[in-house]
Structure 1
Amino acid sequence: MIFENLPTTPTSEELLDKAFSRAARAGRAKQGREAQESMLQTSSNILGDNLHNVVTEWPDFDHVDEFYYELADAILRDEFADDEGVDRLRKHLSELSWASKKTHDLGREYIGKLPHDADAARKIRKQGFARMGSVMNQVEDDLDAVGRARDALKVLPDIRPDEPTVVVAGYPNVGKSSFVNTVTNAKIETAEYPFTTKGVRVGHFENDRVRWQLVDTPGLLDRPADERNEIEDQAVSALAHAGDVILFFLDPSGTCGYPLDDQRALRAEVADRFGDTPLVTVCNKTDLSEDVEADCYMSIEEGEGVEDALDAAVEAAGYEPELPFEDS
């Protein structure tokens, strides 16, 4: 996942402590003007290089898959409590780029001002340190914001937009989680979205040697659109970029606690929101009732029709893997 390995973002105070402590050690190894030059060079390099590294560790959002872009934008809108999201992060990163260049420039500037007199050189070096400290104070909030963004995005589940994906939808208690648990052949990963109370669950299964993702989104695709806030709604848009097929669960028995008409209305909303993405309707709990029109019928409780539902989703997706030696 593109945000998983982002390094911890240092604070302004941490960078200043690191830069000036190492500069002091570098200065003790030399004398006179050379000592002050070494201190300026060391501190400006540490500040400039570390700030540069913070910026370049982030992916270029102009080339991030639409799924991750929209999801990151939704999460950052929530984190920053504004409508800018990714654009706000870009502004903070731009300020850090400026500070990286500025601290390098200050090192060169004050090294050029150093006189041969040791005491006078020490005063110039202190002035250079003060200017670098001022720059770091200016970007203190930017470093904090970038660190918060990193912490918010690193918990995203590993959903890979380049792999075929089945998105599971439907009201709570209709059998979605049980289905995911039954058909996935690997450990199910659960990750909390900052704006939801339940974790997004990702499992995998294989079909004709192709690895498929199965995504369950409690808190997003289990209630009507008018009950979702803007950020949750944008997360649904992000999922639309990742999904190759929607597997929508209906419970005609009513034991889920939601009337069948409400379930059908939610299905219509999901179908409209996901546009051209195929939607397969699954009637679950057939051991209790089959009184609904659906593409396939299943009972998780009885272990009946589960593979048929999965096969129907795969067929509807129409995914064709690229073969390595296929003629262009």
Structure 2
Amino acid sequence: MNGACSTVFQLCQSPPFKLLIIRRFNVFNGMHVSRSSRIYPNQCFCRSIQTETYNVVRGSYIPKTETKDQNEAKKKDEPSKSLENMGAFQKLPMVMPSIDILHSALKTAKRVSPTKGIANIAKRERNRGAKQLDTLMKELAVRLRTYLEEFPKKEYLHPYECSLIELTLGDGKYEQVLRKVDTLRKKVVSTGKEYASLCAKSASKRDAEESLSVGMKKVEEAYIHQAKAVDDLLHIAKTLRAMPVVDLDKPTLCLVGAPNVGKSSLVRILSTGKPEICNYPFTTRGILMGHTVLNYQHFQVTDTPGLLRRSDDDRNNLEKLTLAVLSHLPTAVLFVHDLSGECGTSPSDQFAIYKEMKERYGSHLWLNVVSKCDLLKESPVTFSTENCDHDDIELQKYRRFGPDGALLVSVKNDIGLNELKERVHEMLVSQMTRIKEQKATEET
């Protein structure tokens, strides 16, 4: 054992020659000892020592190796995990108004005193000026850099949250504001360093004081010139934090239909959500999330803006928000129809919207509801702008009774609401089973 330790010690102490000679002693049955030598390539031996790793298993060491492909695959998997999470908007930092950031930085910088022990007045003033300018620059730049680091990049967000950013703020607005904030940070840093250097090189106390005054003014001007980017970032943070949080592990009921068909009234009946209810289209100006508890089970209910009969290219951002919910969230659909003529969208247009959404999102659990059934008349309502095709039997049937299996309800007269709640509960329980099965499949 001592010989082995001595050999290892010699290896560690040996110079980096191309060849390594290890001496050993062979002991035979007789009384004599013979010495032998072996030559090893030194570089290869050192390389094997540096790269080999071991795991301890039951008191023994076993080699642990990871290929380059495995390491790259592990790095690729890390961002994909973050895509599955929601709630990034609630983690956004609290952004201060631009003027408050500036006043706080100026106040901190002016309190900075020169380094102790400098007897020469000019040197002390140069030191004080350079330190104050450096502090002002850092107070502004560090805060801006913190904002840039804490606002997530869109590629790491859930697709639904990416859609909310684009449709709520405008396409490219989020990245544009962050770029402007970064440009402002770089401008503050370059200006602060420039005038801090000039102040440190001043020839006299008076020159140092003048350089400090000019430098403070220049940094302040550089900041104010582009400070609107900070206020825009403040507005973005407030807007995104106000977005409803969706729990992907909880079943979600999404109410869909044309504008003013009664979706918001049903949301009030089915959940804790309190959307605005008015008798005109597009009352719902965004996604509203409510919650409900049925048999001690928690569910989510979301109200969405109304859809019109037109192509996706012609849809406004409110309609695209509805499509984003259906496209990116695991929802069960409650499609609301109004055949009374009160909503402003003709039954034939509603039928076309329904068929398009059913074809596109038919994989979702689905329940059709005809609202305002107390206003239905024996003869279907016909709009003057409508082209009534009497040969279309399916459309004629829809105009009178709605889709097959549709549930007739009236919030005003309390018709069909208890049955609606039961049907919704059954559908959400089925949706919960779907979510659990999908999660189990992803884990395996």
Q: Shorter-chain TM-score: which interval?
A: 0.7 to 0.9
* Shift in alpha-carbon separation, 1:23–1:255, aligned structure 2, 3 A: closer
Paired residues, what number?
Answer: 310
Q: What's 1:221 paired with?
A: 306
Q: What's 2:422 paired with?
A: 308
Is 1:279 matched up with 2:355?
no
Q: Equivalent of 1:35, from 109, 128, 136?
A: 128
Q: What's 1:57 paired with?
A: 150
* Shift in alpha-carbon separation, 1:258–1:29, aligned structure 2, 3 A: same
Structure 2 runs not aligned, ≥5 long:
1-86, 117-123, 277-281, 377-399
Is 1:94 matched up with 2:204?
no
Q: Equivalent of 2:288, from 201, 205, 210?
A: 201
39-48 vs 54-63, greater mean Cα deviation: 54-63
Quote the Cα distance in structure 2 between the aligned partners of 1:252 and 1:16: 59
TM-score between both structures, scaled by the size of structure 1: 0.76
Q: Equivalent of 2:405, from 295, 298, 303?
A: 295
* Shift in alpha-carbon separation, 1:28–1:284, aligned structure 2, 3 A: same
Is 1:320 matched up with 2:405?
no
Quote the Cα distance in structure 1 between the aligned partners of 2:95 and 2:194: 30
Quote the Cα distance in structure 1 between the aligned partners of 2:155 and 2:225: 27
Q: Equivalent of 1:17, from 78, 103, 118?
A: 103
Structure scoring higher RCO (CA < 8 A, sep ≥ 6) equals 1
Structure 1 runs not aligned, ≥5 long:
78-84
TM-score between both structures, scaled by the size of structure 2: 0.59
Quote the Cα distance in structure 2 between the aligned partners of 1:253 and 1:21: 66
Q: Equivalent of 2:231, from 141, 144, 154?
A: 144
Q: What's 2:212 paired with?
A: 125
Q: What's 1:211 paired with?
A: 298
The letter of the residue matching 2:89 is F
**Is the 8 Å Cα contact of residues 171 and 222 (structure 1) preserved in structure 2?**
yes
47-56 vs 167-176, greater mean Cα deviation: 167-176
**Is the 8 Å Cα contact of residues 129 and 208 (structure 2) preserved in structure 1?**
yes
Structure whose CA Rg is larger: 2
Quote the Cα distance in structure 1 between the aligned partners of 2:345 and 2:196: 73
Instruction: State the Cα distance separating 1:45 from its structure 2 match.
Output: 1.5
Q: What's 2:25 paired with?
A: none
Q: What's 1:66 paired with?
A: 159
* Shift in alpha-carbon separation, 1:305–1:140, aligned structure 2, 3 A: same
Deviation string 1:23-81 (CA, Å, 9 cap, x unpaired) is 2222499852332133112201111112113323322211111111112111112xxxx
**Is the 8 Å Cα contact of residues 165 and 174 (structure 2) preserved in structure 1?**
no
Quote the Cα distance in structure 1 between the aligned partners of 2:113 and 2:274: 51
Instruction: State the Cα distance separating 1:183 from its structure 2 match.
Output: 2.6
* Shift in alpha-carbon separation, 1:168–1:91, aligned structure 2, 3 A: same
278-287 vs 35-44, greater mean Cα deviation: 278-287
Quote the Cα distance in structure 1 between the aligned partners of 2:101 and 2:343: 54
Alignment of 1:108-257 (within 5 A): 108-113=193-198, 114-115=200-201, 117-161=204-248, 163-171=250-258, 174-184=261-271, 187-188=272-273, 190=275, 197-199=283-285, 200-206=287-293, 210-217=297-304, 220-225=305-310, 229-240=315-326, 241-252=328-339
